[in-house]
Amino acid sequence: MKPTLLSACLLAGLLVVSAVGLAADKDAAKETATNTAKDTAEPKLEPLFNGKDLTNFKADASKAFWRVEDGVLIGENDAAKKGNYLYTEKEYGDFVIEFDVRWKGEPPRGVDTGIEMRKPNLQLQLGVSGSLKVDMSGSWYVGKPGYPETGRAKEAAKLMKPEGQWNTFRIQAKGDTFTCWINGTKASEYKDPKFAGPAPLGFQIHPGVVMKCEYRNIRVAAL
């Protein structure tokens, strides 16, 4: 074979190999982009609260504390200062929940409430901590020893609207990672593999304090 013909054949072969390699790279990049999009896609949130009654909740033991008025879920106690949880009928492992919330409590104690999830009982705090006597909204409560430093929403006061106005909270539990957003901004993230078991979501009225807490637009998605 003449040198010029040999060179031409080698060049053609290299071009074919390069083209195949580029196509493979493009396919791999496309697959990676697709998988990334799936991982970061917004979950389809469905109404948990229908704005009319306590459907989707275990309401029989909670009717003295929870009611629905004008599309708003209201949790309230009285001078007896008894506590209660309104639990969902369904258990959730990995999930996202989003809701609007506002509250009012008598000073100096204020409102002490939260959203309970997973087993064994992890909670996102809303309002004033009974043990710390400061507003710990958006922080993660693990029972004893209380609020881990790594799970505290240290900028929550800057993110929240004044008491009595609606604030939008978003909570995500995925694997061992628990994240909270307040009014669209990430407020806290806590990691702990201990809280792994699926459980109903619980909306709390804390005992020992007179309080009223209101929710609307409660939506949830299992992940």
- Beta-strand ranges (E) seen in 129-184 are 140-141, 167-174, 177-182
The DSSP bridge pattern shows strands 211-222 and 72-76 to be: antiparallel
Give the Cα separation of 82 and 80 in Å (integer). 6
* pTM to 2 decimal places: 0.80
pLDDT (tens place) for every residue of the chain, 223 residues total: 555 554 544 445 544 444 445 455 556 555 554 444 444 678 999 999 999 999 999 988 788 899 999 999 999 998 888 999 999 999 999 999 999 999 987 766 778 999 999 999 999 999 999 889 899 999 999 998 899 999 999 999 999 999 889 999 999 999 999 999 999 999 999 999 999 999 999 999 989 888 999 999 999 999 9
